[in-house]
Amino acid sequence: MIPTPLRSLLLGGLLAAVTLPAMLAQADQPHARLDVQAEAQLDVVPDRATLSARLWERTPALAYSDEQTDPDALRQARDQLEQRATALIQALEEAGVARDDLSAGSLNVQPEYVPAPRRGDEESELLMRTRVERPFQVRVDDLERLPRLLDALTAAGVNALDAISYDLADRTAATDEALVMALEKARHKAELMARTLNVSLGPVATISETRSPVYMPRMMAMSADARESTGQVEYRPGTIVIEAGVSVSWEIEN
């Protein structure tokens, strides 16, 4: 006959042997999940702009040859360009542009090939000249000042007003807001589905981005009318679109 203490010990071990596999089997069973994908779009009004302009000078067009451009002509074109650049910078500073908001690019020198005027039936001769160019960028934090600055650039005699790039002073805040909107939309969809199907949402199991918030400044090309305007043209920045997408999974509690 088995003593009582030993019999209790054997019975406890047998129950543990039976219960442990059942618990492990239950733990291995995957939980039912509710998977949701959501996308959000945020329209933001720009609060910053960048003006792009260029100045250039050209040397006289001469008959094409393998020789380099006349150094004196090139020096004269470069000196004239620098004088115009200095006048442009002064005009912008007088218009209220801070030194840190004005960027003058590097000098760019490149050859240009143009046909000479034709004389009767003779073939047109190829001429070469050198173009000396310098780009400028002006950052504008107050969009109300944009027409005045465009007038200043035009009055300074820029050769090209290339474009206006509309931007945001705080890009991170805007992209964060778009991501939050996508997550809130995902949660709303999950709660709606759970309520409709009469189930309860458990903890979040997985979260991932399906579309990272992408931010692209909005470009507006300058038309001929805008370049020749005297402040009568309206410049509407429109909106910048930021899109974000997420995928979220919730465990379902019965």
Contacts of 130 (CB under 8 A, 6+ apart): 58, 59, 69, 73, 74, 77, 109, 110, 111, 112
What is the pTM for the complete model shown? Answer: 0.68
Mean pLDDT, the chain, rounded, equals: 83
What confidence tier does 55 reach under pLDDT thresholds 50, 70, 90? very high
Please give the pLDDT value at position 37.
Answer: 97
The CATH number of whichever domain residue 160 belongs to comes to 3.30.70.2970
Q: How far is CA 10 from CA 3, 5, 55, 150, in A?
A: 11, 9, 97, 94
Asked whether the beta carbons of 106 and 116 are under 8 A apart, the reply is no
Token pair for 186: 């995902």
Boundary-marking domain end, from 167, 187, 205: 167
Pair 217, 109 in one domain: no
What confidence tier does 14 reach under pLDDT thresholds 50, 70, 90? very low
Q: What average pLDDT score do residues 142-155 get?
A: 89
Lowest mean pLDDT among 13-27, 34-48, 239-253: 13-27
Phi, psi of 145 (to 5 degrees): -85, -5
Closest to 84 in 3D by CA, of 121, 56, 112, 117: 56
Closest to 84 in 3D by CA, of 180, 159, 10: 159
Residue-number span of the structural domain to which 66 is assigned: 48-167
Pair 142, 211 in one domain: no
Q: Quick one: what percent of the chain has pLDDT higher than 70?
A: 78
Asked if the model's pLDDT at residue 15 lies above 90, the reply is no
Q: What average pLDDT score do residues 243-247 get?
A: 96
Q: What's the rounded Cα separation, in Å, for the pair 184 and 190?
A: 10
Asked whether the beta carbons of 91 and 149 are under 8 A apart, the reply is no
Please give the pLDDT value at position 126.
Answer: 81
Please give the pLDDT value at position 186.
Answer: 97
Q: What pLDDT, in 10s, does the model give residues 163-206? A: 899 999 999 999 999 999 999 999 999 999 999 999 999 999 99
What confidence tier does 226 reach under pLDDT thresholds 50, 70, 90? very low
Please give the pLDDT value at position 28.
Answer: 55
What confidence tier does 247 reach under pLDDT thresholds 50, 70, 90? very high
Pair 132, 217 in one domain: no
Pair 161, 99 in one domain: yes
The CATH number of whichever domain residue 229 belongs to comes to 3.30.110.170
Pair 206, 143 in one domain: no
Max mean pLDDT range (184-198, 201-215, 217-231): 184-198
Token pair for 145: 């000042």
Pair 151, 202 in one domain: no
Please give the pLDDT value at position 234.
Answer: 56
Contacts of 204 (CB under 8 A, 6+ apart): 248, 249, 250, 251
Pair 92, 134 in one domain: yes
> Residue 222 gets which letter from DSSP?
P
Q: What average pLDDT score do residues 218-224 get?
A: 62
Pair 142, 197 in one domain: no
Boundary-marking domain end, from 140, 167, 194: 167
